[in-house]
Amino acid sequence: MIRSKMISCGSYLPKKILTNKDLEKIVDTTDEWIVTRTGIEERHIASVEDNEKTSDMAYYAAQKALDKAGLDGSDIDAIILATTTPDQTFPATAVTVQHKIGMSANGFAFDVQAVCSGFIYALAVADNFIKAGQVKRVLVIGAEHFSNILDWEDRTTCVLFGDGAAAVILEADEDASEGIQDQGIISTHLHSEGEYRDILYVDGGVSSTQTTGKVRMNGQEVFKHAVKRMSEVVRETLEKNNITSDDIDWLVPHQANKRIIDRTAKKLNLDSSKVVLTVGKHGNTSAASIPLALCEAVEDGRIKRGDLLLMESMGGGLTWGSALVRW
């Protein structure tokens, strides 16, 4: 069978760091409140002075992933870029990255919009293109400039998010066997539920207000759904593959809130030492959060070739999903 192997990853975080102490000067909040409720200590913010765009961050991350794999843009058949904060309404941010890395018109590039679940959705789409035999190498990117859609007077949301990008390269392995032993994406699981689209949303858009809008959220409702849905989708993934949480080497969760991650891990009897946590230093970077966490743990040597990874996320929509991957 064909399997999508993850052959490399690369990440980019803007230089500017905004700490909780900095936020104390902007809104009525405290470092203690933010750390206790979310685990977040600081986040990176894209440079306004340098006009640092989502496509720039995505490009830097993609180029690093290409360098690590010893490839260049001409080796890539498709780019699937997950973002909620594109450079423009159109064209897709992915085509800007395509142009910058020098990928030819033999392939294609497009964006996926599933907010914080965007990377898992993009991974699933890319995996299915590969399994269908339509492409051999795909650059999957999560990139967000979330600071531009935050209401910096709303303390209930502006303390939670950050900016950044990360990319993985998937390559078709045409000789893989069924089951969980071989490297690559073993299964993906996607869900959405439009009934709850108004508990986390942006209050603007092209066809409604003709403005970009700002993030609005019912935090407690989102929290409840996040723990419930992410625990469910993890169970679904384990059952589908006839494994238990003991088989998982690393949980690489969406980094929204340490309390959500802790509760989800506890519900699954997963030891906290098996959880990759970056929310403290990155905040919630939406579609970029899982690949950023993945890259960090790969680069510092925690995640090793052959490790079994479980990635899971939930975001606005509501959308949620998971991916079981042998690194």
Closer to ligand ACO by Cβ: residue 99 or 155: 155
For 242-284, list the strands marked E by DSSP: 250-253
Q: Does 159 bind ligand ACO (CB under 6 A)?
A: yes
Q: Does 222 bind ligand ACO (CB under 6 A)?
A: yes
Q: Does 155 bind ligand ACO (CB under 6 A)?
A: yes
Q: Does 231 bind ligand ACO (CB under 6 A)?
A: no
Q: Does 200 bind ligand ACO (CB under 6 A)?
A: yes
Closer to ligand ACO by Cβ: residue 83 or 257: 257
Q: Does 210 bind ligand ACO (CB under 6 A)?
A: no
Angle formed by the axes of helices 93-101 and 54-69, to 10°?
40
- Rounded to 5°, the CA angle 10-234-3 comes to 55
Give the residue numbers marked as catalytic.
Answer: 116, 254, 284
- Binds ligand ACO by CB under 6 A, chosen from 186, 256, 270, 277: 256
What amino acid is encoded at 67 in this protein?
D
Q: Does 233 bind ligand ACO (CB under 6 A)?
A: no
- Write b or e for each residue in 198-233: b if 16 or more Cβ atoms lie within 10 A of its Cβ, otherwise e: ebbbbeeeeeeeeeeebbbbeeeebbebbbebbbbb
Report in angstroms how near the CB of residue 201 gets to ligand ACO at its nearest: 11
Which of these segments, 89-97, 105-113, 239-247, 249-257, binds ligand ACO (CB under 6 A)?
249-257
Burial of 186 (0-12, 13-18, 19+ CB in 10 A): buried
Query: By CB under 6 A, how many residues form the interface with ligand ACO?
Result: 23
- Binds ligand ACO by CB under 6 A, chosen from 11, 84, 188, 284: 284
Which residues neighbour 132 within 8 Å (Cβ) at sequence distance 6 or greater? none
- Binds ligand ACO by CB under 6 A, chosen from 57, 80, 125, 160: 160
* Token couple for 148: 């531009």
Q: Find residue 251's DSSP bridge partners.
A: 275, 310
Indicate the pairing of strand 250-253 with strand 215-217: unpaired
Q: Does 156 bind ligand ACO (CB under 6 A)?
A: yes
Residues that bind ligand ACO (CB under 6 A): 29, 33-34, 37-38, 116, 155-156, 159-160, 200, 217, 219-220, 222-223, 226, 254, 256-257, 284, 314-315
